[in-house]
Amino acid sequence: MDIIFLRALKIETVIGIFDWEREIKQTVVLDLEMATDIRKAATTDSIDDTLNYKAVAKRLIDFVSHSEFGLVETLAERITEIILTEFSVPWVRLQLNKQGAVSGAQDVGVIIERGRKPEDGTHIR
C-alpha cells in the first residue's frame, strides 16, 4: 500500500455551536493520508493513473468553504465520505484541526480513519 498525503490544507468555513461562531468564518486545517497504489502511475508517468491530490484539495476546499456545520466531528465525517466515494480511496486518515478553539491550546480537533487499509505486502511510503 502506498499513501498520498496532503498536509496543512487551510480552509475558511463557518464551524461551531456558539451564536458568535455562526456569524464568522474560522480556519480549519486538514492533514490527510489516503491509501492508493502508485505503481501504475510510476510506470506510465500519467496523472490519469494516480490519485490526483490537486483534485482532492480543490473538491475539499469547495465543500468545506461552503459548509456550515456545528461540530468538527460532522465535518470530518463528511470530508472522509467525499474522499472514499468520489475518489475511490479504500482508506483515509484525516486530522481536522480547529486552531484556537480552546483558550491556552494551540491545536484542537479530531483524528479519524475510515475505510480499510489494503494489506498487499507493499510497504507504506
Q: State yes or no: is 98 an active-site residue.
A: yes
Question: 3-state DSSP call for residue 42?
Answer: helix
Q: How far apart are CA 115 and CA 98, in angstroms?
A: 24
Among residues 10, 25, 40, 98, the one annotated as catalytic is 98
Q: How far apart are CA 96 and CA 9, in angstroms?
A: 10
Q: Using alpha carbons, list the distances in angstroms from residue 17 to 21, 69, 103, 104.
A: 7, 8, 16, 19
Mind telling me the catalytic residues?
Answer: 98
